[in-house]
Amino acid sequence: MNTLSSMFRLDGQVAIVTGASKGIGRAISLVFAEAGANMVLAARTLADLEVVVEEIRARGGYATAVACDVEQAADRERLVATAVTTYGTIHLLVNNAGGSGPNDALATSADEFNAVLARNVTQPFVLAGLVVPHMRAAGGGAIINITSAAARLSQPYFSAYGAAKAALTQLTRNHAQDFAPLVRVNAIAPGPVLTAALAPYLTDEVRASMTRKTPLQRLGEPEDIAAAALYLAAPASRWMTGKVLELDGGAEWTVWG
């Protein structure tokens, strides 16, 4: 029988995290490494990744940085190849890279809309296809998709991002069926989280308004999402697949505006 502490350990696991240089991706990478995983960190800017790698190594962990634009096929293939060459296999994938700003539904072109879908849905779909054979060969694994509360909320100026994240949520459910029983696929749907991506929109007035509208009276922090990701990656969630954890401070409606 697993002990409580072992239920949240990732010793010997090999984990790829995309968008790992900042914010949620960085927090997940640090937590996974502390739990014993060997980390492969992906983002477009190598210098930013190396800072996180050094943080992990300073704490006694193992990490490798891969400069990678996950929207590019060659970069995705190189990322997976690096993980296998460096650590022998892959057990965990966190599809964290993505995102988009607000859009005007009447001023957004088809190309712009499709670009948001490609960034948030297509690349996680393809990357999952690259890693699952390695996970099955290793005896099992887990994929965690970072979707968004925008996937379920009706709000203005989020038609592109909301549609993309809703598609990622449904992809999570379908992939869970495709890849069972050896590979589990779950997702996290954060509400507003205090990251560099949110900062440009977060004036003091906006932050106070959003906090007031959130039942738990604060916005999310990257560590909140990282803790949930650890649960989904670890043996603690071994009987869970195709599900979405909503981490939004209890908000059942948009806190924007």
Per-10-residue mean pLDDT, the chain, length 257: 84 98 97 98 97 98 97 97 98 96 95 97 98 98 97 93 97 98 98 91 93 96 98 98 97 89
Give the residue numbers marked as catalytic: 161
Question: Is 251 inside any structural domain?
Answer: no
Question: Is 129 inside any structural domain?
Answer: yes
Question: Is 199 inside any structural domain?
Answer: no
**Domains in the chain, number:** 1
- Spatial contact of 189 and 169, defined as CB atoms under 8 Å apart: yes
Question: Is 200 inside any structural domain?
Answer: no
The single residue listed with the structure tokens 């964290």 is 96
Selection from 91, 59, 68, 78 nearest residue 21 by Cα: 68
Give the list of residues 6+ apart from residue 67 with CB closer than 8 angstroms, or none: 42, 43, 44, 45, 46, 49
Question: Is 33 inside any structural domain?
Answer: yes
Question: Is 43 inside any structural domain?
Answer: yes
pLDDT reported for residue 1:
53
29: left (phi over 0), alpha (psi -120 to 50) or beta: alpha
Q: What sign results for the dihedral spanned by CA atoms 15, 176, 231, 161?
A: positive
| Domain CATH number, residue 126 | 3.40.50.720
Q: pTM of the entire structure?
A: 0.96
Question: Is 140 inside any structural domain?
Answer: yes
Selection from 136, 149, 60 nearest residue 93 by Cα: 136
d(CA 238, CA 17): 20
Question: Is 117 inside any structural domain?
Answer: yes
Residue 137 lies in domain:
6-191+222-246
pLDDT reported for residue 7:
96
pLDDT reported for residue 160:
97
